[in-house]
Amino acid sequence: MQSRRDAPFVLLFLAPSLAGFLLFFILPFGAVIYYSLIDNPVSGHFVGLDNYRTLEASGSFRKAFVNSLAFAGFGVPLLYAASLGLALLLRGKLPLRQSFRTMFLMPLVVPVASVILVWQTLFHWKGAINGFFLHWGFDPVDWMNTRWALAVMLIVFVWKNVGYNLIIFLAGLSNIPAEQYESASIDGAGAVRRFLHITWPGLAPTSFFVIVMSIVQSFKVFRETYLVAGAYPNDAIYTLQHFMNNMFQSLDYPKLTAAAVLLSIVIGVTVYVLFRLERRSREALS
């Protein structure tokens, strides 16, 4: 009975957030789905799945789709490993660890557009890295116009997001009771066994959150790629957001909206599968 009496007040406090979510997320996404099923926004003739079939036949879309999946497949594990490794390192008695924590948080507060100039200077054909190569007698590398462009953008992706994941992992590590490590040390467990049997299971909820957020961020790497390599980068880093940006500039809204819907479906299915796996692992541990 108490919950029923409180329901109007709960809905009242939730009303602004629900209205904002409906106005700025649900309704626009519904409009995107509608536009993906018509021939163009002017005449508005219903064409069903023809726009999606057109995308399937588009070589540039297939390339962008595969590249986006590949970037997420490489970038998310790399970011996860780097973030967890740094969190374990900074949790210990490392000299200047507070300074290192601040340094890794800098990408979160510094505007990306200004820092990207540094990356352009480093990986330009006549940039700093090729300058070192020439100094040591090696041939320069055309970083942004070869398959090396993928490696460059993976480095930028990790640099941009490692600080956020680092804070999440440090918070997760602080929730693991220190007594468990002390008991394991007394029983003779080494660092590897303590990690596998205490740290890893204790970080399961945190790891799930970090992986989900990293997947979402991997599909939003367009801004950095666009600033470093432009609207038409090397084929290795031509992603779905590049494709959608080019469709927007050419006012091809049917392809743009259909690609946006497909991207949402891919992310939604991936997150759903991760939720199912996380639930099964939690049930197995309990």
Residue 81: the pLDDT is 93
Q: Which residues pair with 46 in a beta bridge?
A: 38
24 occurs within a structural domain: no
Residue 142 lies in a domain: yes
Comparing C-alpha atoms, which of 212, 233, 230 is closest to residue 64? 233
In a domain, 17, yes or no: no
Q: What pLDDT was estimated at residue 117?
A: 76
Instruction: Encode pLDDT of 200-254 as tens digits.
Output: 888 888 888 899 889 988 888 887 787 777 777 888 888 888 888 888 888 888 8
Asked if residues 96 and 182 have their Cβ atoms less than 8 Å apart, the reply is no
**Average pLDDT value over all residues in the chain:** 83
Residue 16 domain-assigned?
no
Structural domain of 142: 54-285
Residue at 15 is within a domain:
no
pLDDT given for residue 169 in this prediction:
92
Burial class (CB in 10 A: 0-12, 13-18, 19+), 91: middle
DSSP one-letter string for 153-211: HHHHHHHHHHHHHHHHHHHHHHTS-HHHHHHHHHTT--HHHHIIIIIHHHTHHHHHHHH
* Amino acid identity for residue 254 in this structure: P
Please report whether residue 10 resides in a domain.
no
Does any domain span residue 4?
no
CATH number of the domain encompassing residue 205: 1.10.3720.10
As given in the structure block, the two tokens for residue 141 are 């590398």
Domain membership flag for residue 194: yes
Please list, in sequence order, all residues whose beta carbon lies within 8 angstroms of the beta carbon of residue 180, skipping any fewer than 6 positions away.
198, 202
At residue 221, the pLDDT reads 82
The phi and psi torsions of 261 (rounded to 5 degrees) equal -65, -45
Strand partners, 38: 46
The total of structural domains in the chain comes to 1
Say yes or no to pLDDT of 80 above 90: yes
Mean pLDDT of 30-57: 86
